[in-house]
């Protein structure tokens, strides 16, 4: 069942007013609201409600462990969190582990009828009050509070960095100004004839605990587009796409590689597929992206409909995993993990723009993006976004210098309006990563190509874990990426 714009506005005001009433939160005070749930309309309503009343959101990945969640509770002093019946038990376990017993109010999406009796008993034992999401809305409807708009420099959200060591996760503080400028930059690089409009629809499945997905939803919300949410089962994502028929699809390379494998296995031996692929590939070499020629009618239209619903015109993805094979410190991943022609593959098959971005939580997501109509296969991660500037500095200890030939190479530093406010409660760590002139050190080694785009060639710091089958060592991120290629694996923990 759909939720329309007028309904969303009403529910946002009701839920925000309800939160203020039941939890005693104060606007403009950096009070935080945690969200520990899969993507849904209620997730977005809770997020927007917090911002409408100048509260700070803390998006948490639904697969986080109790230990990871406990550290987040301790660091933020969170008093209220939005969950589902499935994630509630993890929250209750985290409340026991947290060094600061601040959590007092838990709002359950879907109602209390699905909550287990054991979870009810535990909540009562630790002094946590459970509320149904609809109950909070009803309270707010009966006791409305006028919106309190945040200022540009007010804190909007705290995102936790992804790391295999839960104890080293840091809270990345992003202001409203930073988020707005990042969304504006994304919209600015879209050519006028392909701009995102109210007719566009986004299928949201990437965790909203990651900045990339939140910014994508922010862009669609800004222009008045629609958002569909996946069923919650990643293995049925393509079925969800067939039903939702998105025009904009954001993804991670892991999923795209699986889809590429499925398409290749199903169609790759076909004579028409091979001829059509070669013909459209040649058109791309000429700078022409088409989705309505003879080969689309014969082959690719059926693929587009079967795998993505037939409407996708912009496919956006993070470039971080695509560049893994270019980093000389990491053992090669092919054929298990990456393919340098993945962007070209989907441009041919879908006839859509494929945009790759590369960045960090500290930079509110991407700092670069490949440009529309740039179909070169160079392994580049794109040019700098309008909201930031990028420079390279020498790394003589690794043999990289900005005066290298044929292209400059060095550590990538970024400065601009999209940088984070700092790490929550850790000024020393903030100073280590951002210098006095405002340049943030990414730790990635880049090369500037002749057309002004960047290519990742190495990492500044490599942490080797072990020797494995004669390989000198295996980097932690590499191990995680390889394991994630197995369809059944959703979460990876490495001990030792």
What Cα–Cα distance (Å) separates residue 492 from each residue in 38, 165, 297? Answer: 18, 11, 42
Is residue 402 scored above 60 in pLDDT? yes
- CATH label, 5-150, candidates 3.40.50.980, 3.40.1640.10, 3.30.930.10, 3.40.1710.10: 3.40.50.980
Is residue 35 scored above 60 in pLDDT? yes
State the pLDDT at residue 478: 55
- Report the DSSP beta bridge partners of residue 365: 360
What Cα–Cα distance (Å) separates residue 207 from each residue in 2, 211, 271, 425? Answer: 21, 9, 39, 25
State the pLDDT at residue 481: 56
- Distance CA(56)–CA(173), nearest Å, equals 10
Pairing outcome for strands 353-360 and 365-369? antiparallel
For residue 316, give the nearest of 196, 454, 226, 486 by alpha carbon.
Answer: 196
Q: How much of the chain, in percent, has pLDDT values that exceed 70?
A: 86
Confidence (pTM): 0.88
Dump pLDDT digits (tens) for 241-263. Answer: 999 999 999 998 888 888 999 99
State the pLDDT at residue 332: 44
Dump pLDDT digits (tens) for 97-130. Answer: 877 789 999 999 998 999 999 999 999 988 999 9
325-352 burial code (b ≥16 CB/10 A, e <16): bbbebbbebeeebbbeebbbbbbbbbbb
Is residue 397 scored above 60 in pLDDT? yes
Check: CB of residue 224 under 8 Å from CB of residue 198.
yes
State the sign of the Cα–Cα–Cα–Cα dihedral 464, 468, 471, 472. Answer: positive
ω before 386 within 30° of 0 (cis)? no
Is residue 488 scored above 70 in pLDDT? no
Dump pLDDT digits (tens) for 260-274. Answer: 999 999 999 999 999
Mean pLDDT, the chain, rounded, equals 87
Asked if 5-150 and 192-460 have one fold, the answer is: yes
State the pLDDT at residue 4: 65
Pairing outcome for strands 353-360 and 314-318? parallel
Q: What is the mean pLDDT of residues 7-11?
A: 93
Of 199-213, 242-256, 366-380, the poorest mean pLDDT is in 366-380
State the pLDDT at residue 474: 45
Q: What is the mean pLDDT of residues 378-403?
A: 93
Dump pLDDT digits (tens) for 415-431. Answer: 999 999 999 999 999 99
Architecture label for domain 192-460: 3-Layer(aba) Sandwich (3.40)
Helix/strand/coil percentages in the chain, nearest 5: 40, 20, 40
Dump pLDDT digits (tens) for 54-64. Answer: 999 999 999 99
Pairing outcome for strands 155-160 and 129-132? unpaired
- Backbone phi, then psi, for 483, in 5-degree steps? -65, -35
Q: What size, in residues, is the chain? A: 496
- Distance CA(291)–CA(275), nearest Å, equals 15
Check: CB of residue 310 under 8 Å from CB of residue 301.
yes
Residue extents of the structural domains in the chain: 5-150, 192-460
- Distance CA(204)–CA(181), nearest Å, equals 21
């Amino acid at each position: 069942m759909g939720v329309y714009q007028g309904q969303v506005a009403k529910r946002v005001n009701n839920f925000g007013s309800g939160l203020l009433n039941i939890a005693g939160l104060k606007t403009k005070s950096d009070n935080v609201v945690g969200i520990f749930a899969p993507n849904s309309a209620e997730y977005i309503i809770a997020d927007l409600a917090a911002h409408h009343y100048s509260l700070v959101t803390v998006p948490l990945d639904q697969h986080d462990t109790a230990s990871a969640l406990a550290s987040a509770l301790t660091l933020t002093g969170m008093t209220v969190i939005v969950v589902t019946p499935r994630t509630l038990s993890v929250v209750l376990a985290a409340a026991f582990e947290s060094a600061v017993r601040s959590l007092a109010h838990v709002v359950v999406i879907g109602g209390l009828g699905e909550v287990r009796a054991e979870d009810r008993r535990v909540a009562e034992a630790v002094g946590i009050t459970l509320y149904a999401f609809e109950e909070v809305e009803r309270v707010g409807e009966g006791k409305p509070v006028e919106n309190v708009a945040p200022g540009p420099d007010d804190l909007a959200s705290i995102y936790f960095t992804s790391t295999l060591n839960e104890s080293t996760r840091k809270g990345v503080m992003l202001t409203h100004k930073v988020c707005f400028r990042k969304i504006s930059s994304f919209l600015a690089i879209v050519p006028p004839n392909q701009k995102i409009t109210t007719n566009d629809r986004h299928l949201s499945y990437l965790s909203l605990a990651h900045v990339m997905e939140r910014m994508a939803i922010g862009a669609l919300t800004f222009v008045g587009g629609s958002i569909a949410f996946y069923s919650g089962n990643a293995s049925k994502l393509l079925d969800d796409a067939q039903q939702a028929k998105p025009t904009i699809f954001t993804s991670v390379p892991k999923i795209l590689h699986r889809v590429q494998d499925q398409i290749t296995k199903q169609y790759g031996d076909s004579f028409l597929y091979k001829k059509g692929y070669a013909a459209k590939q040649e058109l791309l070499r000429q700078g022409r992206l088409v989705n309505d020629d003879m080969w689309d009618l014969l082959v690719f239209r059926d693929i587009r409909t079967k795998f993505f619903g037939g409407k996708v015109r912009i496919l956006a993805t993070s470039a971080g995993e695509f560049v893994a094979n270019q980093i000389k410190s990491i053992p090669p991943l092919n054929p298990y993990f990456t393919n340098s022609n993945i962007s070209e593959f989907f441009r041919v098959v879908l006839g859509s723009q494929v945009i790759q971005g590369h960045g960090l939580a500290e930079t509110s997501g991407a700092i670069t993006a490949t440009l529309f109509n740039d179909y070169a296969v160079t392994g580049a991660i794109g040019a700098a976004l309008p909201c930031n500037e990028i420079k390279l500095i020498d790394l003589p200890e690794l043999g990289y210098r900005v005066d290298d030939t044929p292209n400059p190479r060095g550590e990538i530093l970024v400065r601009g309006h999209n940088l984070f406010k700092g790490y929550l409660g850790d000024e020393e760590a903030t100073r280590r990563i951002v210098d006095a002139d405002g340049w943030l050190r990414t730790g990635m080694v880049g090369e500037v190509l002749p057309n002004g785009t960047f290519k990742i060639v190495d990492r500044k710091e490599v942490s080797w874990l072990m020797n494995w089958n004669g390989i000198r060592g295996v980097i932690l991120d590499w191990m995680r990426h390889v394991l994630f290629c197995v369809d059944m694996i959703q979460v990876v923990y490495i001990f030792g």
